[in-house]
Structure 1
Amino acid sequence: MPDSPPPVIVVMGVAGTGKTTVGALLAGRLGWRYAEADDFHPPANVAKMAAGQPLTDEDRAPWLAAIGRWIDGHAAEGTPGVVSCSGLRRAYRDQLRDGRPQVRLVLLEGSRELITRRLAARHGHFMRVEMLDSQFAALEPPQPGEDILAVSIDATPEQIVDEIVRGTRPQ
């Protein structure tokens, strides 16, 4: 096993920023495993969001713990990975990084107008466009010392991935 665990990149942002598309494309480009954070939600969370109800910190606790276990599993296996996760609050981001120096955070950012259009065009997803206000209300922008790579979504997914690859290389 290596001295330090292999990297795990967490692709974050509000709903509609392209976390799944970018995360899967990034993992494919790097040859790493990918996980979609929505798959870690318990059924009660999915039902709540589908009903247009924002999740509470209490709702998110088991979800964040499950993502943390996925990251830890990759460390134990010695395999790098990419996972998408909204990561809206600093406390959530801190929880994902706690004791995990290999975690690299990437925040996908875009205008409310662009993200609203993207959500309105989605079909068959539990996150409704009406929930976007609660996502933006919960979003705590990165603070100094958080070491988050912010990437604009005003580009193609391939260009976004290029920027992430350049921005997450070790110095």
Structure 2
Amino acid sequence: KPRIIIVCSALKGSYHSMLRAEIILEAEASQHSGKLPTMKGSREVPTGRIMKCQGHFMMAAMLDSQLKTLESP
């Protein structure tokens, strides 16, 4: 069974709610299922990963604004 991963920031709680509702509707209408992972942990983990990733648009300096916007679901 093929797997598809779709990635987006969905930083606001309202975005999580909309996505969760769509995942549930899709699961009911088909034989597919979905999960909506969330980011947890300290700032150091994503900073370290960003620093290791060369040539990517996301820079460590951009992380602060992302974390300020992040709402826990």
TM-score using structure 1 length: 0.34
User: What are the superposed Cα offsets for residues 94-120 of structure 1, whole Å, 9 maximum, x if unpaired?
Assistant: 222334413432223231112212111
Matched, 1:122 2:53: yes
Q: Following TM superposition, by how much is the alpha carbon of 1:127 offset from its aligned partner in structure 2, in angstroms?
A: 0.9
Q: Following TM superposition, by how much is the alpha carbon of 1:33 offset from its aligned partner in structure 2, in angstroms?
A: 2.9
| Structure 1 gap segments, 5+ residues each | 1-30, 35-81, 143-171
RMSD of equivalent CA atoms: 1.9
Equivalent pairs, count: 65
CA distance in 1, matches of 2:69, 2:39: 15
Larger strand fraction of residues: 1
CA distance in 2, matches of 1:112, 1:126: 18
Identity over aligned residues, as a percent?
Answer: 40
Q: Following TM superposition, by how much is the alpha carbon of 1:122 offset from its aligned partner in structure 2, in angstroms?
A: 1.3
**Segments of 4+ in structure 1 off by > 6 A?**
none
Does the 8 A contact of 2:50 with 2:60 survive in 1? yes
TM-score using structure 2 length: 0.69
| Structure 2 gap segments, 5+ residues each | 28-33
Does the 8 A contact of 2:23 with 2:35 survive in 1? no
Q: Following TM superposition, by how much is the alpha carbon of 1:83 offset from its aligned partner in structure 2, in angstroms?
A: 2.0
Q: Match for 2:42: what amino acid?
A: S
In structure 2, the partner of 1:33 is 3
Q: Following TM superposition, by how much is the alpha carbon of 1:125 offset from its aligned partner in structure 2, in angstroms?
A: 0.6
